[in-house]
């Protein structure tokens, strides 16, 4: 201090910068010298001067977590909204550093502009949600609840970011304290629940469902939460029993049935139990049931579907019927053998659009329970009619059987269902061609 006083008494410059653009006040912040900093300010040092990284002394003090220097700078009315070369304010930096004292100091500043965004488009609440800083999130929500559902350019709101990154406590603060919209969508029509499921964040999933999240929402690809759960690798994050008690219990239950610690499958079971349907198709005409390649998994999902507490009984009955048909088809080999993986995987581990996935009867059912239009043309040929009766399709049971298989001559499916059949259900002969009545 004495040397600084001596230099100042001899007219030492306050504004000479080093090669990085740092001046004396930056150095006082870096070295945690609040008394010297105050002396410099009393002598006329520029409080908001920036270095070549566009950092002010406040940025430096915050990044070094020197709370005493932050206090001095705030006392002398520094600009708390200065943005560095990344667009970050001092509060952005403080959120990343998780210093409660500094967050309190900055959060109490009356001049904070909470609308400022860094170059990645994050305002300070977005940043708190991204980093999982619940102290900051709570303070910001209490200060300005109107920012809770504010979106970035990609449509991500704070709840999306917290859900995607598994920050359950922040998500809870946003929902309970901030009254965040639980089904808010980003530019890809993803809800917080879809993002949480996609990453296997079971605690966040249960939190969102308990707070009324739409279990049947789908994204721009038409994928539902159940699609995403079945596409998850079985090596999902560990479950915190207190945060996801229901899914944790399912993990234990299915482990006793031979599915050892399969969190992804437990998540899928939880979703069907809550009302997700196995038959709704995405934009690639794939239902969740199409992503399953063994009867044990189908039987497991069937048991949890029977416990479903969401949706209508008609929907539950339709799902149970589809699961029955899928299991029967796999056992009888009626579907394309090449489409079924003979490995030990319980669930296909890749996106349906990237490889040929097994096709189940549920693929043929739309969300209304009616068969969807098959994109594959039927083969036309001359044939001799067999079975002129009006029996129903043996797959969907919704429409009359109207397609005759050749060479066996059996008529057992409707037009839509026939396109997926490779072997006759009745005689198990390979189907070489099909003709519609």
Go through the domains of the chain in sequence order and give each one's CATH number.
1-113 (1.25.40.20), 218-370 (no CATH), 374-437 (3.30.40.10)
Task: Please give the residue that has the higher pLDDT: either 366 or 411.
Answer: 411
Strand partners, 406: 433
Share of residues in the chain with pLDDT > 90 (%) = 60
pLDDT at 310: 60
Q: Which tokens go with 54?
A: 């566009």
| Residue 245, φ and ψ in degrees, nearest 5 | -60, -35
pLDDT band at residue 334 under the 50/70/90 scheme:
low
What are residue 403's DSSP bridge partners? 413, 436
Query: 345-362, pLDDT tens digit by residue?
Result: 334 333 333 333 333 323
Query: How is residue 137 written in tokens?
Result: 């999130």
Residue 139: partners with Cβ closer than 8 Å, 6 or more residues away: 103, 104, 107
Instruction: Tell me what pLDDT residue 437 has.
Output: 72
pLDDT of 207 over the 70 cut:
yes
In the predicted model, is pLDDT for residue 368 greater than 60? no
pLDDT value of position 408: 76
The confidence band for 417, taking pLDDT boundaries of 50, 70 and 90, is: low
pLDDT (average), residues 388-408: 67
Q: Which is more confident, 412 or 25?
A: 25
Predicted pLDDT of residue 350: 32
Cis upstream peptide for 407 (omega within 30°): yes
Which pLDDT value is given to residue 3? 75
Quick one: pLDDT at residue 10?
Answer: 60
Average pLDDT of 286-308?
Answer: 90
Confidence of residue 52 (pLDDT cuts 50, 70, 90): very high
- Token pair belonging to 25: 């006040």
- Mean pLDDT, residues 203-220 taken together: 97
pLDDT surpassing 90 at residue 120? yes
Q: What is the pLDDT of residue 237?
A: 62
- Mean pLDDT (whole number) for 116-127: 97
Closest-CA residue to 317 (of 298, 302, 330, 295)? 302
Query: Which strands make up the sheet holding 403-406, listed edge to edge?
Result: 411-413, 403-406, 433-436
SS3 label, residue 160: helix
List the beta strands (DSSP E) in 8-55: none
Prior bond of 195 cis (ω within 30°): no
Whether pLDDT at 363 is above 50: no
Given a contact cutoff of 8 angstroms between Cβ atoms, the answer to whether 153 and 188 are in contact is no
| pTM confidence score | 0.73
Instruction: Using the predicted structure, report yes or no on whether residue 59 has a pLDDT greater than 90.
Output: yes
Residue 339 burial class via C-beta count within 10 angstroms: exposed 0-12, middle 13-18, buried 19 and up = middle
H-run or E-run covering 10? none
| The pLDDT of residue 338 is above 60 | no
Position 337 scores a pLDDT of 44
The conformation of residue 272, written as its DSSP 8-state character, comes to H
| CA-CA-CA-CA torsion sign (268, 273, 275, 278) | positive
pLDDT above 50 for 62: yes
At 394, the pLDDT band (50, 70, 90 cuts) reads: low
Average pLDDT, the chain: 82
- Structure confidence at residue 233 (pLDDT): 54
Helix, strand, coil abundance in the chain, percent, nearest 5: 45, 5, 55
- The distance from CA 414 to its chain's CA centroid, rounded to whole angstroms, is 38
Each residue's pLDDT tens digit, 241-277: 899 999 999 999 999 998 888 899 999 999 999 999 9
The answer to whether the CB of 437 falls within 8 A of the CB of 402 is yes
pLDDT at 425 over 70: no
Residue 223, pLDDT > 60, answer yes
The most confident of 97-101, 401-405, 432-436, by mean pLDDT: 97-101
Name residue, tokens 């057992």.
412
Confidence band for 308, pLDDT divided at 50, 70 and 90: confident
Task: Provide the 3-class DSSP secondary structure of residue 241.
Answer: coil
Q: What is the pLDDT of residue 355?
A: 31
């Amino acid at each position: 201090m004495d040397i600084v006083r001596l230099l100042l008494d001899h007219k030492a410059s306050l504004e000479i910068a080093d090669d990085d653009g740092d001046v004396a006040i930056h150095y006082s912040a870096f070295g945690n010298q609040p008394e010297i900093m105050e002396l410099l300010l009393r002598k006329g040092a520029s409080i908001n001067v920036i270095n070549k990284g566009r950092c002010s002394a406040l940025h430096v003090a915050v990044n070094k977590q020197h709370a005493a220097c932050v206090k001095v700078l705030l006392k002398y009315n520094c600009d708390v909204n200065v943005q560095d070369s990344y667009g970050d304010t001092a509060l952005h930096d403080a959120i990343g550093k998780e210093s409660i004292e500094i967050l309190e100091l900055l959060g109490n500043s009356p001049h904070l502009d909470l609308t400022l965004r860094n170059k990645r488009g994050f305002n300070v609440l977005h940043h708190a949600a991204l980093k999982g800083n619940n102290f900051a999130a709570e303070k910001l929500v209490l200060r300005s609840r109107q920012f809770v559902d504010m979106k970035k350019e990609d449509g991500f709101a704070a709840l999306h970011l917290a859900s995607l990154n598994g920050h359950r406590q922040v998500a809870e603060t946003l929902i309970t304290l901030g009254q965040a919209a639980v089904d808010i969508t980003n530019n890809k029509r993803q809800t917080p629940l879809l993002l949480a499921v996609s990453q296997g964040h079971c605690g966040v999933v249960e939190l969102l469902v308990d707070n009324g999240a739409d279990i049947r929402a789908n994204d721009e690809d038409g994928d539902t939460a159940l699609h995403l759960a079945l596409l998850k690798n079985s090596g999902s994050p560990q479950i915190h029993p207190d945060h996801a008690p229901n899914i944790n219990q399912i993990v234990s239950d299915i482990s006793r049935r031979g599915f050892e610690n399969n969190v992804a499958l437990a998540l899928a079971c939880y979703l069907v139990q809550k009302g997700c349907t196995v038959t709704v198709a995405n934009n690639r005409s794939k239902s969740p049931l199409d992503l399953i390649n063994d009867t044990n998994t189908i039987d497991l999902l069937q048991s949890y579907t029977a416990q479903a507490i969401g949706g209508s009984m008609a929907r539950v009955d339709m799902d149970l019927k589809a699961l029955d048909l899928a299991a029967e088809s796999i056992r009888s080999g009626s579907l394309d053998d090449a489409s079924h993986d003979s490995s030990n995987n319980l669930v296909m581990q890749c996106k349906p659009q990237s490889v040929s996935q097994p096709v189940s009867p549920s693929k043929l059912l739309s969300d209304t329970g009616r068969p969807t239009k098959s994109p594959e043309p039927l083969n036309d040929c001359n044939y001799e009619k067999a079975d002129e009766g009006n029996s129903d399709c043996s797959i969907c049971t919704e429409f009359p059987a109207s397609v005759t298989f050749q060479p066996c001559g059996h008529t057992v499916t409707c037009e839509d269902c026939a396109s997926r059949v490779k072997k006759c259900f009745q005689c198990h002969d390979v189907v070489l061609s099909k003709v519609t009545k």
